[in-house]
Homo-oligomer: A and B are copies of this chain.
Amino acid sequence: MNTLLTGFIILSIVIAFIAFGFALWLYFWVKRQPTSNEKIISIAELIRQGANTFLRKEYTILAKFAGAAALLIFIFLPKPLWIGDFWANVLTNLQMVIAYISGTVFSAVAGKIGIQVATMANSRTAEAAQKGIRLSFLNGFRGGSVMGMAVVGTSLLGIALLFLIFDQNSTLLLGFSFGASSLALFAKAGGGIFTKTADISADLVGKVELGIPEDDPRNPAVIADNVGDNVGDVAGMGADLFDSHVASLAAALVMGVALDKLLGTNNVAMIFCYAALGLLASILGIGFAKMGKNDNPTNALNTSTYLTTAIFAALTAAATIIFKFEWRMYFAAILGLGVGVIIGIATDYFTDDRKKPVQTVAEASESGPAITIISGVSYGFLSVLPAMIGIAISALGAYMLCAPLGTNASDQVVYGMFGISVAAVGMLSIVGMIISNDAYGPIVDNARGLAEMGNLGEEVVEITDKLDSAGNTVKAVTKGFAISAAGLTVISLLGAFLSEVNAAALERGIPGITNFDILNPKVFFGLLIGAAVPAVFSAMLMLGVTRNAERMVAEIHRQFNDIPGLKEGLPGVEPEYDKCITIATTGALKELIPAGLFAILMTIAVGMIGGVYAIGGYLTGNIVSGLILALFMSNSGGLWDNGKKYVEAGHHGGKGSNAHKAAVVGDTVGDPFKDTAGPSINTQITVVSLVASLLAVIFLTWSLF
């Protein structure tokens, strides 16, 4: 390993620790903030316990799943134990097991930290609102930033350590990445089912049937609902972006190692340098974040994102000059980042209540719920266009920028694919900032509920409402960003898959592959089936939500019937909150498993039937249809949510009007779209891509056709 590379790996580790230190400082800052309202303290404690119950169950089931996966990895990956030297295989497969387990554990730890802080910051944000919006904002944002720092710090640390300890073995990184994906599948899809089960059930019985307000403490599902915000949006989203960040680095490093070995270049060092500087830029961006005098929280969040972007661009430019990295690579990274930000802004157009789509849907609600749904679905479909064009341009642009670095045709292909992975690394460089913005959302959402339940008064609730609304706007932007980043990452994972196949083919003296030709019927076969998988996967999750919500609605009905005085809100009468939390937890994890297994088993089936060519098509179909569906569902969901808020703000008849009733239907439909199925597709795509890469050897040697 050369000095430059060693230096940057160590730099990565150092910056990861700086991020941990900063997270610790933020943590204690939040912890120092006062809480005094007993009602709020006790409810916040219930939320914290509920979230921990979910995490404990989730991690227990995950441990079993990961144990089984680790056993299979040990037997088969990267090489079946019985082929060749048995003891050598034991050793290499054991390394893969370690990488895989580390991936799950690192991500789990980051998720646990995030939940810990978020469930502490919510009550402090609520109480701080009594002293004004600026302090309240800082509580929410700094609470979220702990998650941001923890996720990106552990991700970078894990990759750097593995790379250092196992001497640049890039295949192991795919194992680490697969571990992170396994966890993300549970956290994002499981958390997504949990949060929407609780949300829908609470609304159906509370708001629709009984007409009691949102966050009313009489509602047995109200704590589960608040827990859901944390497990879905904090832990789930964190695991999802951990997964994307790791996958983008893994894909770039797999190709970078191959390039460096072949041509003696410094690409791996550059990747570590850029990743480390991205984290540093996020630390600075978070450090400078605060609300200005104009008191607009959305601007504060956006300003710090743009600041982070600018810092990253400047730092990496300096590094490129000093260490003589290729400028073409630099521009590929900046292209990726720039397109990511533009996609975020374009996505915002479709969910911003000052723009036409939300207003049109709100107006359409006057004609009843059916028109709300039709117009929302339509705008959701329209919203895929800017993101797809953006991803297409950044992939083509990055390829075109970097391909000329190769001196012959085959090197140019490798450089071009590597360029795409650099663009993905660039897009994900500011992920620390993105996660901080995103985790801010559920904290202030919780704070709003706590302010209401703790009777802090209308003015305070209004402040938290304002913070919450900013959270929703920013969430739409970051979600568009996250989906696009995942898209670009999995495109570069296609390149990693090709690398793995050809390395294995070379080793076995059989012909490798040079292309995935669409006219090859195996490729087309895979393409068609791969495209169906995200649709089926998201259907299974959504049906899981409705089934689980049925169970919870029954439980809520039971409590209102069986507990005397609950409906009337007699003092001292409390619902059994924990029963609802248990239903949400057990159901979520039960409903998620068939969906996850379906995606994985389809991949294996297609690979065993059509071999590596079919898998090339399968991954492509999966990416393309996954992106379309994820963008559609996330954006239409966000649009309906804001459409409802727009009506509630007094337009088209305001609260209680027919338009409002229709808008509520839209919002409820959008819930599992935007918080369960849509974002889980990200994870599904990554999981499938990694399964394919890891099993490349098996598909190469054992397929039917």
A→B interface (CB under 8 Å):
200, 204, 208, 364, 367-371, 373-375, 377-382, 384-385, 388-389, 391-393, 395-396, 399-400, 403, 413, 416-417, 420, 491, 494-495, 498, 515-529, 531-532, 535-536, 538-540, 542-543, 545-546, 549-550, 553, 610, 616-617, 620-621, 624-625, 627-628, 632, 664-665, 668-669, 672, 705
Contacts and interface: CB of A to CB of B under 8 A. Distances in A.
A669 B204 contact: no
A368 B515 contact: no
Given A378-B543, A628-B625, A395 B532 contact: no
B531 A624 contact: yes
Contacts of A378: 538-540, 542-543, 546
A123 B612 CA distance: 59
Nearest to A203: B370
B545 A374 contact: yes
A391 to B, nearest CB: 6
A208, A391, A535, A617, most chain B CB atoms within 10 A:
A535
Contacts of A621: 624
Given A515-B517, A628-B625, A374 B616 contact: no
A484 to B, nearest CB: 11
Nearest to A491: B524
B208 A368 contact: yes
Given A375-B543, A529-B389, A542-B378, A521 B400 contact: yes
Contact of A665 (B382, B416, B542, B665): B665
Contacts of A403: 521
Contact of A370 (B380, B525, B535, B668): B668
Given A382-B540, A392-B526, A624-B624, 18 more contacts: A204-B367, A208-B368, A370-B665, A371-B546, A373-B373, A375-B543, A377-B669, A378-B543, A385-B535, A392-B528, A395-B528, A396-B610, A400-B521, A515-B519, A518-B518, A528-B624, A531-B627, A532-B628
Contacts of A616: 518
Leading 4 A-B pairs by shortest Cβ distance: A370-B668, A381-B539, A399-B521, A515-B517
A549 B617 CA distance: 41
Nearest to A606: B392
B669 A370 contact: yes
Contacts of A524: 392, 395-396, 491
A148 to B, nearest CB: 29
A502 to B, nearest CB: 12
B381 A529 contact: no
A522 B396 contact: yes
A364, A378, A417, A498, most chain B CB atoms within 10 A:
A378
Given A381-B539, A539-B378, A543-B378, A529 B388 contact: yes
A532 B389 contact: yes
Nearest to A382: B539
Contacts of A515: 515, 517-520
A536 B635 CA distance: 14
Contacts of A528: 388-389, 391-392, 395, 624, 627
Given A375-B546, A519-B417, A624 B396 contact: no
B665 A392 contact: no
B525 A396 contact: yes
B521 A416 contact: yes
A632 B532 CA distance: 10
A609 to B, nearest CB: 9
A371 B381 CA distance: 21
Nearest to A619: B518
Nearest to A542: B378
